[in-house]
Amino acid sequence: MKSGTVMLIGRPNVGKSTLVNNIIGQKVAITSPKPQTTRFAIEALYEDPRGQIIFVDTPGIFNKATDALSKKINSQTLQTLGDKIDLVLYIVDPTRKRDFEEAKVLGIVRKIDKPKILVVNKEDEEQKYLPQYKFLESEFDSVVSVSALKRKNIKTLLDTIFEKLPEGEALIDKKDYIYPALNMDSTVFIAELIREKLFLQLRREVPYTATVVVDEIKERNDSLTYIRARILTTTDVYKKMIIGAGGKRIKEFGSMARVELEGATGRKIYLDITVEVDKHWMQTMA
């Protein structure tokens, strides 16, 4: 059988998390139209008769890291590169112009001495800047064009990955893991899902000043699970924006999270969310 660890790398918002989710067939990493949604490397298992692949979805590497949290995201991404990997997927988005962030990521990719696949994403959209990426093709072992969102050419990508992975034993026993992400427990999974809905509901910089902490998960009966979570943000202004007039906004994204959790668990969910101001959460969690 074939087996190996495959790392996805790219600048923010190129579709890495969407690609992993659609390869695995269920949500592993949260997604939103906003960049820098993923804050830590997420590991997920894909398995079929050919073998096993552990996908590592890294946070997007961005050029300017000013706050402690952003610096941590960049440093964790770079640390992941030093771990054992067998193959690299370099994801690019030709609907966007190449810039300094892209150059930074490409410079890192060039230093990795592993087989590499150039994955050209967003085939379903107008790829206005595709000529800016064409010169890269000669540097990679293979090139695959996909639409992560529409699941186009996912099979071709998987075929190409398996071709390049080494023969080996099974990496893990799938039955030992409850959640789709191998390195994520229930509290982290729920916190990330709530944070995704917050990202989708709020605009501008507010989502980047907020995080979610799950304090309690309790099964109250055979069908109902109680979850208590806190959203931490940095100012009273952001707190008011997250809650919304008359609590409307927090009810909206709380309801979205509850519905998705019920679908994932098959249980009724009572989701108790509060919002607190913690000016220093980025430093304490970084």
CA dist 269 → 12, 181, 185, 225 (Å): 32, 21, 17, 5
Within a domain: residue 129? yes
Instruction: Provide the residue range defining the domain that includes 133.
Output: 2-176
Q: Is 183 annotated as a binding-site member?
A: no
32 pLDDT above the threshold of 50: no
Check the annotation: does 123 bind a ligand.
yes
31 and 119 in a common domain: yes
Ligand-binding site membership of 254 (annotated): no
Same domain? For 161 and 77 the reply is: yes
32 assigned ligand-binding residue: no
pLDDT digits (tens, 9 = 90+) for 176-232: 655 555 556 677 778 888 888 888 777 665 666 788 888 998 888 888 999 899 999
Annotated binding residue 122: yes
Q: Which of 57-66, 99-108, 222-231 has the lowest mean pLDDT?
A: 57-66
pLDDT at position 245 over 60: yes
* pLDDT at residue 285 is higher than 90: no
- Average pLDDT rounded to a whole number, residues 82-107: 88
Q: State yes or no: 10 annotated in a binding site.
A: yes
At residue 217, the pLDDT reads 87
174 annotated ligand binder: no
Q: Is 60 marked as binding a ligand?
A: yes
Query: Annotation-wise, does 195 bind a ligand?
Result: no
Q: What is the pLDDT of residue 286?
A: 47
Do the annotations mark residue 16 as ligand-binding?
Answer: yes
What's the CATH number where 260 sits?
A: 3.30.300.20
Q: How many domains does the chain have?
A: 2
58 is in an annotated binding site: yes
* Within-domain flag for 263: yes
Q: In angstroms, rounded to a whole number, what is the distance separating the alpha carbons of residues 146 and 91?
A: 10
Q: Is residue 43 within 8 Å of 71, Cβ to Cβ?
A: no
Q: What is the CA radius of gyration of the chain?
A: 20
Q: Is 240 annotated as a binding residue?
A: no
Residues 20, 78 within the same domain: yes
Whether pLDDT at 76 is above 50: yes
Find the mean pLDDT for residues 71-97.
76
Residue 57 annotated as binding site: yes
Pick from 150, 176, 202: which residue ends a domain? 176
* pLDDT of the residue at 279: 85
> Which pTM was predicted?
0.67
Domain finish residue from 122, 147, 176: 176
pLDDT for 131-165, tens place per residue? 999 999 999 999 999 999 999 999 999 999 999 99
Tell me the Ramachandran region of residue 202: left when phi exceeds 0, alpha when psi lies from -120 to 50, beta otherwise.
Answer: beta
Residue 192: which of 41, 13, 7 has the closest Cα? 41
